[in-house]
Structure 1
Amino acid sequence: MAFREKLFAVMLTAAIVVLTTTVPYLTLLNVFLFLGIFLAGSIALNRSILRFQVRLAYNEAFILAFFGGIVGGIFSEAISWVLMETLSYRPGTESLSLVIDWVVETARNRPELQPQVQALLEAEKLALAPVSLSLTDLLASMLFSAAFYAPIAGFGGMWAVFRLKRRAARR
C-alpha cells in the first residue's frame, strides 16, 4: 500500500472511533465490549482494501487499524474536552443514564439487588457531576484512550481481512 492509501485507512479508522465515542447514542455501541471501536477498525480496513484493491496480511491490517485507534483515541479525548469546556457536555453520559435506567427497571422487583442499585445510582451522580480537566489530566486521558482503543481497532482490522479472505475463498 502506498502512503496515501495507508493514511486513508488510518484516518477513516480514527474518524469512526471519534464518531462512536462522542456522538450521542452511538456511544452505546461501546457498551458491548467496545464494539464501536472494533467496528471502526473493521469498517475502515474493509473499505480501504476494497477501494484500493490491495491484499493485506493480518499483521498489516492490525497495524493500520492500531494506528487509527491511536489517532482516534487522541482526537476523541480532544473533542470531548472541547465539548466539556465549551458546552458542558460529556460524551457518553446519555448512554450511561440509559444503561442505569435499564438496570434500575430490571432490578425493581428484586430486593436483593437494591444495595447494588443504590451504589450504581451514587456512581451515576458522580459521573454526571461537572468536571474540569487540567492539561495533565487531558494528556493522561489521551494516552490511556490511545493505548486502550488501538488494539481493539487493530483486531477489528484483522477481522476485516479474515472476512474478505473467507469471502474470496468461497468464490
Structure 2
Amino acid sequence: MAVNKPVQSVLPTEGKLHAVLIGAAIILLTTTVPYLTILNIFLFSGIFIAGAVSLYSTILRFQVRLPYSEAYLTGCLAGLVGGALSEVAGYLFMEFLNYRPGTESLSLVIGWMLEMAKGKPALQEQVQQLVAAEKLALAPVKMNIADLFINMGVSGVMYGLIAGIGGAFAVFMLKRLAARER
C-alpha cells in the first residue's frame, strides 16, 4: 500500500517571505504613488509586474526551480498582502490627508480622452457621460472600518489573482531563458 507523502515546497519560508514582501511593496507603490497609479489603468499591469518581479528576483536569489503552481500561489499571497496594505494606505490617506490615491491618474486619462474627442460631434454624448463619471469618481468619500475590511478583501483577492499570473509568468520566462541557453 502506497503512502502519500506531503509535497514539500521547493522555496524555503524565507524565500516566500521575500517574494511576498517585494510583491506587496511594489503593489503598494503602484496603487498609491501619484501618476505611478496609471500603470494599473492598463489591465492592472502594475499588479502583474509586482507578481512577476517578486518571483523573478526570489527565484534568482534562492536559486530554486519553481513549478508554475507554487509560483502562482506565492504571487497570489503577495497580491493578497499588497491589496490589503494598499487599501489600508488609501484609507489612511483619505482620513488624514484628504487624498484619494489614483485620482490624478484618472483625471489625466480622462483629459486625454476629452482632448481626442474634441471636434467629433458623434462623441459628445460619451464625453458628457465621461465628465459626469469623473465628477462622481472625484467626489469626497467617507469610509468606515467595515468598508475598509470589505475593500481589503476584494482588493486582496483581485490583486492576488493578477499577481499570481505575474508570478507564473516569471517562471515561464525563466524556463524559456534557460531553454535558449542550452
TM-score (norm 2): 0.92
**Residue among 27, 30, 43 paired with 2:37:** 27
| Partner Cα distance (1:29, 1:123) in 2 | 20
Q: How does 1:63-102 map to 2 (within 5 A)?
A: 63-102=73-112
What is the percentage of aligned positions where both structures have the same residue?
Answer: 57
Three-state SS of the structure 2 residue aligned to 1:41 is helix
Letter in 2 for 1:95: S
Kindly state the Cα deviation for residue 136 of structure 1 after the two structures are TM-superposed: 1.1
**Residue among 115, 135, 149 paired with 1:105:** 115
| Partner Cα distance (1:117, 1:136) in 2 | 35
Letter in 1 for 2:54: A
RMSD (Å) for aligned C-alpha atoms: 0.7
Runs of 4+ in structure 1 off by over 6 angstroms are none
Kindly state the Cα deviation for residue 4 of structure 1 after the two structures are TM-superposed: 1.1
Q: How does 1:115-126 map to 2 (within 5 A)?
A: 115-126=125-136
Structure 1 unmatched runs, 5+: none
**Residue among 124, 137, 141 paired with 1:114:** 124
Who is 1:130 aligned against? 140
Letter in 2 for 1:50: L
The structure that has the greater radius of gyration is 2
Letter in 2 for 1:103: M
| Partner Cα distance (2:54, 2:114) in 1 | 37
Q: How does 1:48-63 map to 2 (within 5 A)?
A: 48-63=58-73
**Residue among 151, 154, 157 paired with 1:141:** 151
TM-score (norm 1): 0.98
Matched, 1:159 2:169: yes
Matched, 1:44 2:30: no
| Partner Cα distance (2:12, 2:70) in 1 | 13
Aligned residues: 171
Kindly state the Cα deviation for residue 59 of structure 1 after the two structures are TM-superposed: 0.4
What whole-Å deviation, never above 9, does each CA across 1:16-44 have from its counterpart, x for those lacking one? 11111111111111111110000000000
What whole-Å deviation, never above 9, does each CA across 1:39-93 have from its counterpart, x for those lacking one? 0000000000001111100000000000000000000000000001111000000
| Partner Cα distance (2:156, 2:12) in 1 | 24
Structure 2 unmatched runs, 5+: 1-10
